[in-house]
Structure 1
Amino acid sequence: MSANSRLTIAAHALVWMEIHQRGGDGIATSEQIAGSVNTNPVVIRRLLGELRKAGLVTSRRGAGAGWTLARELEFVTLLEVYEAVEPSALFAMHRAEPNQECPVGFGIRPAMQDVYDEVEAVLRGQLARTTLADVLRNVLAAR
């Protein structure tokens, strides 16, 4: 099973847009962002659409079309980005009901749900404490 990279790609795109804007370039295209992420622009457009619904970016159509940040990075947490691009729970239970006659089948869901709830609370807490400005500082420090 592969790990999900949607949060990482979304953070990458948003931080890249900030650097792009700081350079005086203003509006960013999905093609430009995709070049940095090294993915298809369609992937970026879909992700940016979700970020737009969450109020994190704005878009302009027609001549000069592209994307801009809706807020300063200091005021955007990774939790907001996560909630925009990961609408479902971090972990899921069985797709089919386990055998309720089996002692494990009967108790696995409540046992695992307690663990999952704790893990998700820790994850959300850390994401809420981290802004995209923090991510940008760490990106720039990595150079």
Structure 2
Amino acid sequence: MTVVSRYTIALHSLTFIALMTKERDEFVISDRIAISVNTSPVFIRRILRMLAKANLVIVQQGGKGAGWKLAKDPEEITLLDVYEAIVEKPLFELHHSPPNPNCQIGKSIQPALNHIYSNTESTMKQQLRRTTVSDLLDETISK
């Protein structure tokens, strides 16, 4: 599964948890989240573990009341927080092997792309920083 898809599933999961816990302080089991996402609970738990490492969710293991909940208010979790928890590599990568240094394009393409990629990713992150899980929930339930 692509990074972008994992990110989308993480946002879906957090938004679902925010909705389910809006009126009550309880943990949401991964099976319920998986039904909403239409994927396996095992995959959801893998995503949620990444979010737990970033202190965005907490888990309660075993028995009655087991599951996941947000570690912070949904107004405090930005989409950038989620992006940084899920995405392990830069959005754009350069060549896997160096281009030909004797070629006019090959010797200069990477610095040119680095500049463009850096600006693009910075702009995207600024936008993600402005939106919270609460904003996403509001937008989702208003549709």
Match of 1:46 in 2: 46
Q: How does the TM-score come out when normalised to structure 2?
A: 0.93
- Contact preservation (8 Å) 2:30, 2:67: yes
Q: 1:111 aligns to what SS in structure 2?
A: helix
Structure 2, unmatched stretches of 5+, are none
The 8 Å contact of residues 12 and 37 in structure 2, kept in 1 or not, is answered as yes
Residue equivalent to 2:77 = 76
How far apart, in 2, do the equivalents of 1:85 and 1:125 lie? 17
Q: Which residue of 1 aligns with 2:126?
A: 125
Deviation at 1:40, TM superposition (A): 1.2
What is the root-mean-square deviation in Å for CA atoms of aligned residues?
1.4
- Which structure 1 residue ranges, 5 or more long, are not aligned? none
In structure 2, distance between residues paired with 1:99 and 1:4: 30
Map of 1:96 onto structure 2: 97
AA partner of residue 19 (structure 1)? L
SS at match of 2:16: helix
Q: 2:11, 2:78 → 1: CA distance? A: 10
Q: Does 1:108 align with 2:113?
A: no
Match of 1:134 in 2: 135
The count of residues paired between Structure 1 and Structure 2 equals 141
More helix by percentage: 1
| Stretches (4+) displaced over 6 A | none
Where 1:106 maps in the other structure, the secondary structure is coil
Deviation string 1:97-134 (CA, Å, 9 cap, x unpaired) is: 11111111101100111100010010000000111111
Give the equivalent residue in structure 2 for 1:9: 9
Q: Could you tell me which amino acid in structure 2 is paired with residue 106 of structure 1?
A: K
Letter in structure 2 aligned against 1:69: L
